[in-house]
Amino acid sequence: MATKITIASIIKEKIAKMPSDINNKKDIEKYFKESLNETIKELKKNNDEKEKKPLTKYQEFMKETQKKLKEEFPDLTAKERFIKVAEEWQKEKAKNVENPVEE
């Protein structure tokens, strides 16, 4: 199991590697802030590269149905469209309960 990289673990490493010529509070605070900013940027970069989970059936259905309804009924508000999608999802669920599809 891989060790989870956290801000705290990275900061601890950076503080352990802090140059010895830093010897006053102002310089230490500056070093800490820079290290923290670098760490946050690193973690954000790593999160952006993270593989996304596949959509669930519900999410796929919502995405596809929202798009279709938006094209068919452009005058519907987002709320009205969502209500229609929810109704369609309930019908779809009922169909699947009656006739389950094996995967």
Residue range 74-88: average pLDDT? Answer: 91
Contact at 8 Å (CB) between 46 and 5? Answer: yes
The answer to whether residue 16 sits within a structural domain is yes
Q: Which of 100, 20, 27 is nearest to 57 (CA)?
A: 100
Range of 31's domain? 7-49
Per DSSP, the three-state class of 17 is coil
The answer to whether residue 103 sits within a structural domain is no
Q: What pTM was estimated for this model as a whole?
A: 0.46
Q: How confident is the model at residue 1 (pLDDT cuts 50, 70, 90)?
A: very low
The answer to whether residue 2 sits within a structural domain is no
Residue range 72-98: average pLDDT? Answer: 89
Which residues fall within 8 angstroms of residue 8, CB to CB, at 6 or more apart?
none
Number of folded domains that form the chain? 2
Among the ranges given (22-26, 36-40, 46-50, 83-87), the one the predictor scored with the smallest mean pLDDT: 46-50
Q: Which residue has the tokens 């094996």?
A: 102
User: How many CB atoms neighbour CB 39 within 10 A?
Assistant: 19
Q: Is the pLDDT of residue 87 over 50?
A: yes
Q: How confident is the model at residue 64 (pLDDT cuts 50, 70, 90)?
A: very high
